[in-house]
Amino acid sequence: MGPAAELFFWSRAVIWLAAALALAWFPSRHGSAFGTGLWVRWDAGWFLRIARHGYGSDTVNAPAFFPLYPGMTAVLGRALGGRYALAGLAIALGSCLAAFELLWRFAAERLGRDGAYRAVLYLAVFPMALFLQAVYSESLYLALALAAFALAEARRWPAAALAAALALLTRSSGVAVVLGVAIIAWPQRKAVAWALGAPAAIFMLFPLTLRVQAGNAWGFLHSESQWDRRLSPAGPFGGLWDGVSSLWAAGNRHAFAVDLESLGFLALFLALTPLVWKRFGPAYGVFAAVSIGLPLSFPAGAYPLLSLPRFGLVVFPYFLVLSQAGRAARVHAGIITVSALLLGVAVVQWATYNWVA
């Protein structure tokens, strides 16, 4: 077993055990399942609903969730006799292992074995890393993003374009993957055509599915408003302003804590993004900037930066930069200590049905 696989198994096992202990020790708002049900919270219910019934069951809210992950869950869930939660968890865990292995190889080429170990370790204990084993699409998206960039670096353009297209079918932020691959392909016209054309063509499967199941091919363009997310006229600067302003508007300690946590992660991401560009090139810099700029451009009502820490989880170049910083022993100890403590808090929140991310 390689180092990446060891980090995968140990970190996933410890997080699962911590979540089970938290559920046993603390009062929970809902059920008390310790198996696969432990990883079905919040948005996971929407993924499972789409897997079972398609987009026709809720033609207004469901299109906000892109089709690849629930589609794969639907296929495997039926093969498992209707155990959709188990299917979603299996896909998430398998994708997480693949992402760890891909990040290890990606980092080893640039940072050496020690750097690769730190990068995967920092990902494994990142405060939002629990979502890599939940019934969510984070693991699948991360694995596809890493695969797309690795294939692009190897100049395997059809395969890179397919991976980027699948990332786009997994989450709307997949557009950042497409742009990053296209930058690597530039200025080779044929390669750029693959990088942009194939994802655009394959993505049309989503509106076609919505047209058949929900009667509205372009429902995903309007569904974010149903989740209280609207495009800011100032783009990402509008979300940034709303996020800072929300601290003064917070009506209670909980709202203040949520906003403050999100702002803290945003400050970290904003500090890391130019370092990604400087150290790993414009393709990765654009990928990071667009990945964070998109949710900033669609602030979420009373909690403008809602889920921003989770969105940063899949921006893998951040962990490369952190790995470089972690060469200093004190910095490494600081990253591990802060990450592990915040991850523990997040696991308790998740297990007891308190909002996390």
Alpha helices, DSSP H only, in the chain?
3-25, 43-53, 68-79, 84-124, 138-153, 157-170, 174-185, 189-203, 205-213, 236-249, 253-280, 282-297, 308-313, 317-325, 329-351
The domains of the chain are located at 3-351
Token readout for 254 is 């909980």
Is 216 in contact with 65 (CB distance < 8 Å)? no
pTM across the whole model = 0.96
Rounded percentage of the chain residues whose pLDDT exceeds 70: 98
Token readout for 313 is 């989880």
Q: Average pLDDT over the chain, rounded to whole?
A: 93
pLDDT beyond 80 at 248: no
Question: What digits encode the pLDDT tens for the residues 65-85?
Answer: 999 999 999 999 999 999 999
Rounded percentage of the chain residues whose pLDDT exceeds 90: 78
Question: What digits encode the pLDDT tens for the residues 260-310?
Answer: 899 999 999 999 999 999 999 999 999 999 999 999 999 887 788 889 999
